Amino acid sequence: MQDIEWGSLPFGYFKTEYNVRCYHRFGEWGEIEISSSEYINIHMAATCLHYGQEAFEGMKVFRGVDGKARVFRWEENAKRMQRSAEGIMMAEVPVELFYEMIEKVVKMNEQFIPPFGTGAALYLRPLLIGTGPQVGVKPSDEYLFLIFVGPVGPYFKEGFHPVRMQIVRDYDRCAPLGTGHIKVGGNYAASLKPAARAKEEGFASVIFLEAKEKKYIDEAGPANFFGIKGNKYITPDSHSILPSITNMSLRTLAEDMGLEVERRHVMVEELDDFEEAGACGTAAIISPIREIVDRETGKLFSYGDGEAGPVTTRLYNRLRAIQYGEEPDPYGWTKIIE
């Protein structure tokens, strides 16, 4: 195996030994297939290419302080993928099949799980696509579910250090009654151009506003937004926001730390009232925010003195300690893969 500098890994694609695949044909799922190929042989009229029948998940496996491999809240990823499949009329992956394929691909690529203490993890990318040919606009009659893996570092190059974010008003991530609440590729395609522009202008990512009124915070790029105000953990609630499993976990931890948790509409003007702010998701866990700039108005919202705030830091450390087995997991969030 190649010599990997675990502590300097970016968040990106990394070739590993194997991936696992399973086809849904004639109304049922087939046998799990093991592949060492990085490519998919696909029909040119496949519905994933023409009509966006595609959904994916992002998950991590952590090498714990005890040397054991832990996968974090995989059941929630399985359920979210089922909701995504239902939302765009794809075959739903059974929870049992989802885990069986996770276990198989992690074991076969065990040497790529970064050692404890490196700050890296093994990223899992479950992918579900329509592979059957259609020319008329209708669902596929065949689907492929696959999982590939690779070791990754932090999503933002800053790691757990405050980043700058940019509010955009001239682009929408999704429609109010569209697919924002499920994890499908079209939502991400819509975010690419404003995100690339924001990076050129010196920001880590963008903050989208809800598309109907442009009054409320929606997603923070590929993550959920949250803010700390007094003794409250506040995060936006909307049909167009993807329910983040990390955010769900942080809300539980916040309540157990004695914070009051609010999921509700968050107006842009309320950003002035927060003492801390962050973006949370599987890839970054938490990216603290030090500055938000409204691109259209020039309004600046600042948080802290260049370091992550105390509440954000406590939440981050507590969640990571559970993921790495450094502290007890009273919630049953982690599963050891033997």
CA dist 109 → 18, 61, 96 (Å): 7, 11, 20
The closest alpha carbon to 71, from 154, 149, 160, 145, belongs to 149
CB 129 within 8 A of CB 48: yes
Helix (H) or strand (E) holding 34: strand 33-35
Q: Backbone dihedral region of 226: left (phi > 0), alpha (psi from -120 to 50 degrees) or beta?
A: beta
3-state secondary structure of 276: strand
CB 46 within 8 A of CB 133: yes
3-state secondary structure of 157: coil
Residues annotated as catalytic (active site), given as ranges: 183
